[in-house]
Structure 1
């Protein structure tokens, strides 16, 4: 019974350790990804901070760097907590194995003492011949055989338990060293965060001296972005009207065909002196009820829309490497309110921009010397603004991760304005793209 209990404990420990190892690997990968973002952002900032004029992109970059640094510290804290749980589990395991090992050794010692008392063949023969009958004598022979086998098994269990105990002690030592290393990393990141905040304070101090120019830049940015967003909404509206027109045309053709078939059937019945067939209701030719129904009227578009929606939180990024430096929604910049209907992603200059899902290029237009691409996915649309050049045309079908153009510069940085809309309603892209 004790051996079964020991086996159960070891299996449970192995399962728990495997699950925690998976969590540790996920945290390690997340920390490495954050570090890559920080390094890329620092590279971009080092190129732009050399100028005397402070830009909105630099402020956003510094804010994003601080946010990423805080995320990294949070991930390290999660790793430390995970290691604390492992240390606690392994410490309990060591104590359990030590207890089990002690019990096994006591049992084995008792068997050895019994074997010593009955070590000669004469005692064994007397034990067998003292049986009442042949049946009992046979059972006593089997008992002596099984006792010897059990003693060997106990020795094996002791050896295996000792090996497991030594292994857990080694794991425990390794985990303690990992925790010590993570605590050092945590202190380093805290120092770097303090440095980032110091740089942010210097930038904000510099901003106060350039406040007038900075406000003009923000006003210009808001004006340009408002015009771009209006152009995007107008393009989506044209797509809706076109889809509605096609749906109505298809309904009109279907109604005309049904009417022609009804007239032909009536003429045939009259020629054969048969009663005229009952008239069926012609397909309706009224307007499509909603914009969503118009955009998903075809099976292909309905499938695209469903597929896009089912991939919420799993869509690929519109670039291979980048950092979100301005988030979705209304936020304040130097007491000025900015409403961002997408996200701004800073990336390396000349980076390729790619479609996040299968779809059809709905619109390509140029605004302020930069290209904007609108791709439809049923009643969902993705927007890729601030492209230096494009490699797709209106009507092209695109696949997930297909390159559609190359990013251009906004001021000093290469920044993509990426939006996701359902019909004309802007959605937060961070809720849709993978983490």
Structure 2
């Protein structure tokens, strides 16, 4: 035991009191540290989430800009004909649609930026509060260290211990206090750095918003101009209504002729496949079960009765929403099913597939591997029918074809040259997808642009 007098006893009590006093701040600091660390993690995670969403919006904007530039290219081709055309109106409508979508995308991005500004501002307030708390605690520690900076007092605090074990604990405590002060100082520096970083982020985000607002205003001005062009084109076309209505009737007559031929070809293919399946079933089952099995053969199962046909059918179906487009670049000018004509509200158009506008010289290509079933001539245009097991795809409005019946083709293989209408400059391929005798909407099968 070390000798102790009254003065040293009082000093011991003072340090003992300090020990219990410092336990509170130390625990509080740990709590602050953990909460602060968690807050910083959440701040940067939320910012990463915003960055990811921002990247997606920027990718969408880039694609829309690309689509608008392509419609500009098509419009420049159609405008070589000085008189307004229906194709020009359709292309202009698509351009206006893409421009409106672009403006909405920019508005969504601005809304995200506003939310990010709010989050960053809140983070700055929280960091300021944490910084003030840390500075307050650190000031208290420095004041205590200043009052007990005498090395003689520290030594007496150690040597006034009742035994060696207590003296060792007091030495450890003093080291802990020293380490704690260093950690507290480092924490203040870290918070200050984070605060400065968030202020820079806030400034950058505000600049992003300013740029987006400028771009949005420019796009709105372009949209207003395009809508005026749209009205002008509509007025011009109205004066030629009789001619365009006659052209529409002629086109619908050709489409009906092609549809009848396709339906007949597919029906015959199904009948032949069913007959072959019946013969196979009759030779492979007993007399008592053959009649029932033969009667239950469906059109689709008959078309996919061989391993190769089954493989093609399954692979084609598994690629729904991922099939390549029948032209390298283009946009859907007329969708599947019944819808109102773009010029006359009293006319309803029924489309068995989709029409895709492309640029002059575009080549039609297969959306999937298969076998060319027929090459058909309708008036002055060609159509190619390809079989993929129980599925069929039709490519029409071709000026030239590069395949013949029976050819095995691969995905994206060139089938022919898409015809360009010399009167209005329109280059348009028609695509249909059938499952057996049922027409499908090609748009949901094609990959998104």
Structure 2 length normalisation: TM-score?
0.85
* In 2, Cα distance between equivalents of 1:101 and 1:144: 25
State yes or no: 1:300 paired with 2:320.
Answer: no
* In 2, Cα distance between equivalents of 1:288 and 1:404: 37
Change (3 A) 1:337 1:9: same
* In 1, Cα distance between equivalents of 2:138 and 2:308: 74
The CA deviation string for residues 343-392 of structure 1, in whole angstroms up to 9 with x for no partner, is 22111212233322333333322223322222233333222222233333
Match of 1:409, SS state, is coil
State yes or no: 1:75 paired with 2:105.
Answer: yes
Change (3 A) 1:226 1:282: closer
State yes or no: 1:290 paired with 2:320.
Answer: no
CA contact (8 A) 1:301 1:377 kept: yes
Change (3 A) 1:112 1:383: farther
State yes or no: 1:347 paired with 2:358.
Answer: yes
The CA deviation string for residues 6-34 of structure 1, in whole angstroms up to 9 with x for no partner, is 22222222222222212211111111111
Change (3 A) 1:87 1:316: farther
Q: Which runs of 5+ in 1 are unaligned?
A: 260-279
Change (3 A) 1:77 1:64: same
* In 2, Cα distance between equivalents of 1:385 and 1:355: 12
* In 2, Cα distance between equivalents of 1:154 and 1:392: 78
Paired residue for 2:199? Answer: 169
Change (3 A) 1:406 1:100: farther
Change (3 A) 1:301 1:350: same
* In 2, Cα distance between equivalents of 1:321 and 1:149: 67
State yes or no: 1:320 paired with 2:312.
Answer: no
The CA deviation string for residues 230-280 of structure 1, in whole angstroms up to 9 with x for no partner, is 22222222332232233223324435xx89xxxxxxxxxxxxxxxxxxxx9
Change (3 A) 1:213 1:287: same
Q: For the pair shown, which has the larger CA radius of gyration, 1 or 2?
A: 2
State yes or no: 1:423 paired with 2:431.
Answer: no
- Name the count of aligned residue pairs: 413
Q: Report the CA distance between 1:53 and its aligned residue.
A: 4.4
Paired residue for 2:7? Answer: none
* In 2, Cα distance between equivalents of 1:338 and 1:78: 34
Q: Over aligned residue pairs, what C-alpha RMSD do you find?
A: 2.3
Of residues 388, 393, 396, the one that matches 1:385 is: 396
Q: Which runs of 5+ in 2 are unaligned?
A: 1-30
Paired residue for 2:55? Answer: 25
Paired residue for 1:338? Answer: 349
State yes or no: 1:362 paired with 2:392.
Answer: no
Paired residue for 2:217? Answer: 187
